[in-house]
Amino acid sequence: MTDDQETPEAEGATASGRATLPLRPPCERLSCHKSSVCSRSYFVVVMVFFHVYIINVIALLFYVHYSSGQEDASRSRDAPGGGGGGHQRPETRRAPPKPEFLRDASLTRIEGIRVGHVQKVSLVPGKVHEMRTLSLKPLLFEIPGFLSEDECRVVMQLAQLKGLMESQLMVQEGQEELAKELNLSPEEIFNLLDINQDGQLQLHEILTHSRVRDGIWLTPENLKEIYAGLKADKDNNGKANSSTKKHVSLFLSPGSHDRVTRLTRLPPTLVDLSEPLQVVRYEEGGHYHAHHDSGPVYPETACTHTRLAANTSTPFETSYITVLFYLNSVDGGGETAFPVADNRTYDENEVDLLDTRRNCDKSNLRVKPTKGTAVFWYNYLSDGRGWVGEQDEYALHGGCVVTRGTKWVANKWINIDPDYQRQARYQQLVSQQERGHSGFMQQERDDFVE
Ligand SMILES: O=C(O)CCC(=O)C(=O)O
Ligand SMILES: [Fe+2]
């Protein structure tokens, strides 16, 4: 290319005679053009991004607001008297709300970890107990020193006292023998019964221990007779009194279920509504063939403790957890046997594992009765959702023959209906009954005291 071969702009500029402007290279022009186009598109792109960003932020805010609104709605639906207003998820996505009295009723299951594992548990202030895993199938634990010596004695004496009361009411002729066996002074009896230790025996304190048989309770007249028999009613005014006031901690007093509640980590209501402690005494030669503490639940015989609510009480049959207390150390035999614990290998056609008289020695696990020790086990598996599942066939157990001395045990069966809704209805009925009953008790007390 020569010097004459100018660019068209250069030529034009020369021809027009206009002042020659410094020529900008084409690329610069182009760049200028490009820059203006670019800035517009750049602006558009930026604006688009900006809008998308704003829309995203708004959508996010809506989402946060919407989901917290849903939580509030479900919370208010669960709350007592919650109207369930506001946004609600479709019912299919949520289990039906629990009734108020079972809101906290998810059944905690204690982990066994492995056989021999020891975990520390805090059951009473200032004391730590050790809980040892004895088997995983059934989930079975042993807690030495759960009851003090005094508590063991009190439970045994109270059981004897109740035997005496029953004999006074039912079998007059057995009375003297039992009274001798009881070997308690009227004052000691008084102290055992005087739950609040106020030096007076209120009717409800007697009634706490006066369920004679299923559905049969002592009447005020019976109690007057018993008072007279025990010479506790010194003024003969139907109101018992005590001259000495000795403090006896009553394990069976209302609220004494605390320790069991702490041990099992179950909702307190479930423990409180379970049947009362059952004390059993075995003489030499006594035994108890292997059995389950709970039977299958059929709709028509459904959970007998549900029937209690309909005024036909006990026997209870659905023990979710059994807590067994050894009230004395047995001189010979009397172990609690778990024939198939952790291992179901026996040919059960050859060995009758239910027969504790013959086959206790073949049991996979035997617990030696030691005064104050408690063992507890789950008779049911979990349903995986915090409620009672299938019955645990490994929970089979029995009492081996007492070869020397006597054996005293107390059972605390924690009754929970495997049918969650039925348990809920039962608890509702009981709380209604209790509200009505407290009025009745007050009336009875007034009548009795004067
Ligand atoms: O006596 C024992 O060791 C077991 C008692 C028992 O299983 C029961 O009373 O249900
Ligand atoms: Fe049992």
Q: How large is the average pLDDT for residues 308-321?
A: 55
Q: How far is CA 339 from CA 131, 135, 144, 292, 363, in A?
A: 22, 12, 22, 12, 4
Task: Give the amino acid at 211.
Answer: R
Q: Which atom of ligand 1 is nearest to the CA of 400?
A: 3
Residue in the block written with tokens 């009361």: 165
Instruction: Render pLDDT for 91-130 as a digit per residue (tens, 0 to 9).
Output: 444 555 555 555 556 899 999 999 999 999 998 888 999 9
3-state secondary structure of 241: strand
Q: How large is the average pLDDT for residues 207-228?
A: 53
Q: Does residue 394 surpass a pLDDT of 80?
A: yes
Q: Which CATH architecture has domain 102-147+258-442?
A: Sandwich (2.60)
Per-residue model confidence (pLDDT) at position 286: 94
- The pLDDT-based confidence of 350 (bands split at 50, 70, 90) is confident
Ligand 1: does its nearest atom lie under 6 Å from the Cβ of 123? no
Closest CA to 260 of 418, 124, 104: 124
- DSSP-assigned letter for residue 101: G
Per-residue model confidence (pLDDT) at position 67: 55
Ligand 1: does its nearest atom lie under 6 Å from the Cβ of 368? no
Side-chain-side CA neighbours of 49 within 13 Å: the count stands at 6
Instruction: Render pLDDT for 247-282 as a digit per residue (tens, 0 to 9).
Output: 422 344 443 578 899 999 998 888 888 877 888 889
Q: Does residue 135 surpass a pLDDT of 70?
A: yes
Ligand 1: does its nearest atom lie under 6 Å from the Cβ of 336? yes
Question: From ligand 1's centre to the CA of 262, what distance in Å?
Answer: 22
Per-residue model confidence (pLDDT) at position 44: 82
Closest CA to 272 of 252, 260, 257, 262: 257
Q: How large is the average pLDDT for residues 284-299?
A: 80
pTM for the model stands at: 0.62
397-399 and 336-338 strand pairing? antiparallel
Q: Per the structure block, which two tokens stand in for 21?
A: 């402007």
Ligand 1: does its nearest atom lie under 6 Å from the Cβ of 372? no
**Considering only CA atoms, which residue is closest to atom 9 of ligand 1?**
411
Q: Per the structure block, which two tokens stand in for 420?
A: 């969650």
Can you say how many angstroms the Cα of residue 88 is from the centroid of all Cα atoms in its chain? 30
Per-residue model confidence (pLDDT) at position 445: 44
Q: Per the structure block, which two tokens stand in for 68?
A: 């917290």
What angle do helix axes 186-193 and 149-169 make, rounded to 10 degrees? 100
Q: What is d(CA 78, CA 357) in angstroms, rounded to the nearest whole number? A: 53
Question: From ligand 1's centre to the CA of 289, what distance in Å?
Answer: 9
Per-residue model confidence (pLDDT) at position 190: 66
Question: From ligand 2's centre to the CA of 26, what distance in Å?
Answer: 103
**Considering only CA atoms, which residue is closest to atom 5 of ligand 1?**
399
ipTM confidence: 0.99
Q: How large is the average pLDDT for residues 362-367?
A: 96
Ligand 1: does its nearest atom lie under 6 Å from the Cβ of 370? no
DSSP string, 297-314: --GGG--HHHHHHTT---
